[in-house]
Amino acid sequence: MPIAKIQSAAVFGLDCQIVTVEVDVASRGLSAFQIVGLPDTAVNESRERVRTAIINTGFDFPHRRIIVNLAPADSPKTGPFFDLPIAISLLLASDQIDYFPEKSLVVGEMSLDGDVRPVDGILPMAIQAKKLGFKNFFVPDENKIEASFIEGINVFGIKKLSDMIKFTSPDYKAEPHKSDFDQILNNPNRIFQINFSMIRGQALAKRALEIAAAGSHNVLLHGPPGSGKTLLAKSLASILPNLTKDEVMEVTKIYSVSGLTNNDQPLILERPFRSPHHTSSAISIIGGGTHPKPGEITLAHHGVLFLDELPEFPRFVLESLRQPLEDRNVTVSRVAGSCQFPAHFILIAAYNPCPCGNLYDPKTVCKCTQSQILRYQKKLSGPLLDRIDLHVEVPRVKTEDLMMEPPGRDTLQRVSTSDQIRQNVESARNIQRLRFNKSLIRTNAEMQPDQIERFCVLDESGKNLIKMAIDRLNLSARAYHRILKISRTIADLDKSENVEERHITEALQYRPKDKS
């Protein structure tokens, strides 16, 4: 066979691209092994892996001029996805095997002894394979569970190159791997090490987090050190509703591309909680690189992004969050191409009011100078703060609250507080799901002006109250819309069809306070 072709795949951003691996073994010319089609270093190095693996599996490596073309030739090829398809194509082209199943997709990295190693991004590859009508998907054995969650395609796990050779016999029959997606999805084992029962006092902050969870609103927690801001943020996961089936697939796809899935249980069943350090770069937060990869805001998709010590982050990093917070996605453009990553997350930010943290604390004297305080607070711009819905002061915990006896010694009793709040949150989310069932949005925080006008109808007293708030607090149009969204969420938690004056009054409590 002069030229052999095997279909493979590569990942760019969160999408999969089908790559045709073409191998020609020339009968004339000097011995050479060349890969063309814009390969990166990892792809070029597959020449040595493939050569050694073929020899160690018991086949002959042809000492002739070998050309491997990865088509389409105009798109860069990265990663070790093509080792296995190159090896099979080379054996076909050198007439050492003469058959390979049609409509098959092959991916896998190989070791020098022919073992097939796992690769990242298997789930989007399986989705694309089904979409394009492939019948078989040959993947590394450790990736077979992840690939088999996509129905309608036969998934075969390959441990060694010799296992792959078995499929080159037309008479060979093997059972594809099967996984019960629904059974795994319906039996989540939700155990939270941190929950609301562990938090003493802070009733206002707990209520704000309940509203945030119900409507997918962003929260800013500020107060002195040791007041419980970090504990409050981490406890939010315990009151968030379970991921839906579509959300599980979206989140798992992101983590698959990022190489963060567990091969034994690749599905991401819990809402992500990401907490990057304040020394993180803009690319690690937003995403990017020469070949764009998801950043922390995408890894937090359908979950929580917690930024502790907010002013310690570089200002340009914080400013880069403004567009994703508004649009719920981020577009990363590079020379190699442009990728759009989803970024629908709840932002929980925490900070101290000054460098020493004791500004406004009635029991401890602040040691910072006025210039230090101004320089510290200036790191947070007005446009960024305006995109955060709930501004909550977290004061020092009172002694009587701190020494309060826990509600129950039994662990099951102690998590009941989070369970009760989560039930309220799920009820509010169900109301929103029915409200937006004919649109693409899921929660109140995503409402656009026309939807706000439709679903946040105010009575006369509510209009008068919001008008007075706009005049006195000098609210921007964005802040006005955010107050209405929060009021709508509070009304949903209250199971109220209409947004009433009391809902607006509570929503106004979460606007920034001017203490100057």
Domain containing residue 270: CATH number: 3.40.50.300
The reply to whether 393 and 268 lie within a common domain is: yes
pLDDT tens digits, one per residue of 412-425: 344 447 888 999 99
42 found inside a domain? yes
Tell me if 420 is assigned to some domain.
no
Token readout for 358 is 């004791």
The predicted structure's pLDDT at residue 26: 85
Determine phi and psi for 97, rounding to 5 degrees.
Answer: -135, 155
What pLDDT shows up at residue 136? Answer: 96
Same domain, 310 and 377: yes
Q: Is residue 489 part of a domain?
A: yes
- Asked if residue 254 has pLDDT above 80, the reply is yes
Q: Is residue 439 part of a domain?
A: no
User: Do residues 231 and 311 both lie within one domain?
Assistant: yes
Task: Report the SS3 class of residue 88.
Answer: helix
- Here the tokens at position 446 are 């995503």
pLDDT of residue 410: 46
The verdict on residue 417 lying in a domain is no
Domain of 463, CATH number, reads 1.10.8
CA 314 to chain centre: 22
DSSP single-letter state for residue 95? T
- In a domain, residue 254? The reply is yes
SS3 355: coil
- pLDDT higher than 80, residue 297: yes
153 and 213 part of one domain = no
Model pLDDT for residues 335-373, shown as the tens digit of each residue = 667 889 999 999 999 999 899 888 888 888 888 999 999
Could you give the count of Cα atoms lying within 13 Å of 396 in the half-sphere of its Cβ?
A: 12
DSSP state of 142: G
Query: What are 108-158's pLDDT values in tens digits?
Result: 999 999 999 999 999 999 999 999 999 999 999 999 999 999 999 999 999
**29 and 93 belong to one structural domain:** yes
Q: What percent of the chain has pLDDT over 90?
A: 66
Distance CA 164, CA 139 (A): 10
Domains of the chain: total: 3
Q: How far is CA 61 from CA 24, 90, 92, 109, 224, in A?
A: 13, 9, 12, 18, 69
pLDDT for residue 413: 42
Mean pLDDT computed over 283-299 = 91
pLDDT at 411 over 70: no
Average of pLDDT values for 491-509?
Answer: 94
| Residue range of the domain that includes 142 | 3-179
The pLDDT of residue 412 is: 39
Confidence check: pLDDT of 211 > 80: yes
Banded model confidence at residue 188, pLDDT cuts 50, 70, 90: low
Domain end: 179, 205, 230, which one?
A: 179
CA 412 to each of CA 195, 337, 353, 407, 418: distance values in angstroms, whole numbers, following the listed order: 11, 51, 36, 11, 11
Domain-terminating residue out of 328, 363, 397: 397
| Within-domain flag for 412 | no
**Amino acid letter for position 44:** N
Domain boundary among 148, 179, 210: 179
Query: Do 201 and 168 share a domain, yes or no?
Result: no
Residues 6+ apart with CB under 8 A from 316: 282
Residue 17 belongs to domain with CATH number: 3.30.230.10
How far apart, in whole angstroms, are the C-alpha atoms of residue 143 and residue 125? 11
DSSP label at residue 160: B
Same domain, 7 and 42: yes
**How far apart (Å, rounded) are the C-alpha atoms in residues 104 and 154?**
9
362, 465: one domain: no
Q: What pLDDT is attached to residue 401?
A: 67
Provide the mean pLDDT of the chain.
90
Q: What is the pLDDT of residue 336?
A: 64
Domain for residue 277, yes or no?
Answer: yes
What angle (nearest 5°) sits at the alpha carbon of residue 389, between those of residues 385 and 394? 85
Pairing verdict, β 293-294 and 287-288: antiparallel
For residues 243 and 347, state if they share a domain: yes
pLDDT reading at 191 higher than 80 = no
Residues 225 and 165 in one domain: no
Phi, psi of 182 (to 5 degrees): -65, -40
Based on the fold, state whether residues 285 and 367 are members of the same structural domain: yes
Q: What is the pLDDT of residue 416?
A: 47
Residues 9 and 128 sit within 8 Å (Cβ to Cβ): yes
Non-local (6+) Cβ contacts of 72 within 8 A are 19, 20, 37
Both 167 and 276 in a single domain? Answer: no
